[in-house]
Amino acid sequence: MFSSNSLSIRLNSMMLRGVTHSAKGIFTFLLARPRHRNPGLNFSSVRTEAANRSFLIRSTYTTDTKSREENKKTIESLYRLSVDIKKIRRLKEWVLLQDVAYVQEIAGILQEMGADEAAVASILERCPEAVLHTPAEINSQKALWQLVCQNEKQLIKLIEQFPESFFTTEYHENQKANILFFQELGLKNNIITRFLTSAPSIFYNPVEKNKDIIETLQRNYLSLGGSDANMKIWILKLLSQNPFILLNASTAIRENLEFLQKNDFTDHEVLQLLSKLKGFIFQLTAATMQESMLFSKRVFKCSNQELKELVLKCPALLYYSVPILEERLEGLLKEGISVARIKETPMVLELTTEIVQYRIKKLSALGYDIKSGTLESLNGTKKDFEASYGKIQSKKERPIFNPVAPIHVED
């Protein structure tokens, strides 16, 4: 990356030259880059958790694949269930080396819940370590998940989709305590099942830790001027949007809120930012937020008050790191869009360079010139853009009606 001074020179130079080269497609999706974080469910965290769970389970068993032989009984049992043994050898061979496995017993439990032969084979291929758990452990896990599942049909469907989440039994007591706590808190069972499958690590915490985070959020909500009447709704909405907030330390929550207040955001504005960023602000640090704000202040040449208004208008200026903001600014400038226009519509920085290029290309095909048209046409979700694009398209295709034009009729 480059320094802020060199960026400023580069930005001004690009504006003067009117560079029209398209920015390189550095990535396909925002989530594909580990350093890019997006307000929304953090799926990269989910993938990391899955890898960590696999390592945790594997480290409990023998993993010396050179000096040990495969368990022939395990191989035969899996083969009879039409499981792809080669796939397991390639991905998790250590499972086949264990002296004790419960292949038939685990398959039987799955079948009792309604899984057919193909479903059982698929589950055991993707999560072969399931056969290393005792039937008692799996039955206990089944009873636990039934606390939030409507019936066994829903349960087996979830297991088919997220076998590793279900077969992680090491934190059974913590899982049970947290499920009961979330129910007492007022979360609906369908939200809790979503947490179990997409954010399972929040259930591994001792329930006291999760309670502490919730109480910290409640205290800060009230201290920022929130009402008792709305507090429960606010907490539940925040938690359902971003369950990973429970993985933060209560000190990080307090420090980040203090940072915003020190930068002259009113209590009401802080609450506004918390809601817009869905709690992801707590995954940042005061240092990174300061860097991003200083960068925006230099690029847009604005006062502290103007900067605050920009951040409230576009929280991405607070959330995204300097390298990401640099990259997106460069992409927009290469499309011939000036810094002044970006300042007027900063929400465009919420979009990746690739998305901007794609949308500009679509609009250009309709004859829409983004250099002279409004940047609002680029903004929003995919659904928002398609709606805006449709309006421009229908306007272009609609024939112009002239009420005073003569009507030509054949004699």
What's the Cα-to-Cα distance from 10 to each of 18, 21, 354, 383, rounded to whole Å? Answer: 12, 15, 21, 34
Q: Per-residue pLDDT tens for 263-287?
A: 999 999 999 998 888 878 888 889 9
Statement: residue 401 has pLDDT above 70 = no
Residues 357, 362, 363: CA angle, nearest 5 degrees: 100
Mean pLDDT of the chain: 83
* Consecutive H or E run containing 7: helix 4-17
Q: What is the pLDDT of residue 324?
A: 95
Q: Closest by alpha carbon to 179, among 140, 208, 144, 212? A: 144
Q: What is the pLDDT of residue 35?
A: 34
Rounded Cα distance, 60 and 56, in Å: 7
DSSP-based three-state secondary structure for 18: coil
What's the Cα-to-Cα distance from 204 to each of 50, 179, 210, rounded to whole Å? Answer: 13, 11, 10
Is the C-alpha dihedral spanning 120, 126, 128, 134 positive or negative?
A: negative
Statement: residue 406 has pLDDT above 50 = yes
Rounded Cα distance, 14 and 62, in Å: 59
- Count CB neighbours of 364 within 10 A: 12
Q: What is the pLDDT of residue 26?
A: 28
Statement: residue 329 has pLDDT above 70 = yes
Statement: residue 333 has pLDDT above 60 = yes
Rounded Cα distance, 318 and 289, in Å: 6
**Which DSSP category does 205 fall into?**
S
Of residues 43 and 223, more confidently modeled: 223
Q: What is the pLDDT of residue 377?
A: 86
Which amino acid, residue 320? Answer: Y
pLDDT band at 368 (very low <50, low <70, confident <90, very high): confident
**Which DSSP category does 410 fall into?**
-
Q: Percent of the chain beyond pLDDT 70?
A: 80
Statement: residue 398 has pLDDT above 70 = no
How many whole angstroms from its chain centre is CA 337? 29
Average pLDDT over residues 155-172: 94
Q: What is the pLDDT of residue 292?
A: 94
Q: Per-residue pLDDT tens for 204-263?
A: 999 999 999 999 999 999 999 999 999 999 999 999 989 999 998 888 888 999 999 999
Average pLDDT over residues 375-386: 88
What are the helix (H) ranges across 263-410?
267-276, 286-300, 304-313, 316-319, 322-334, 339-344, 353-365, 382-397
Q: What is the pLDDT of residue 23?
A: 33
pLDDT band at 61 (very low <50, low <70, confident <90, very high): low
Least confident of 266-275, 359-368, 390-399: 390-399
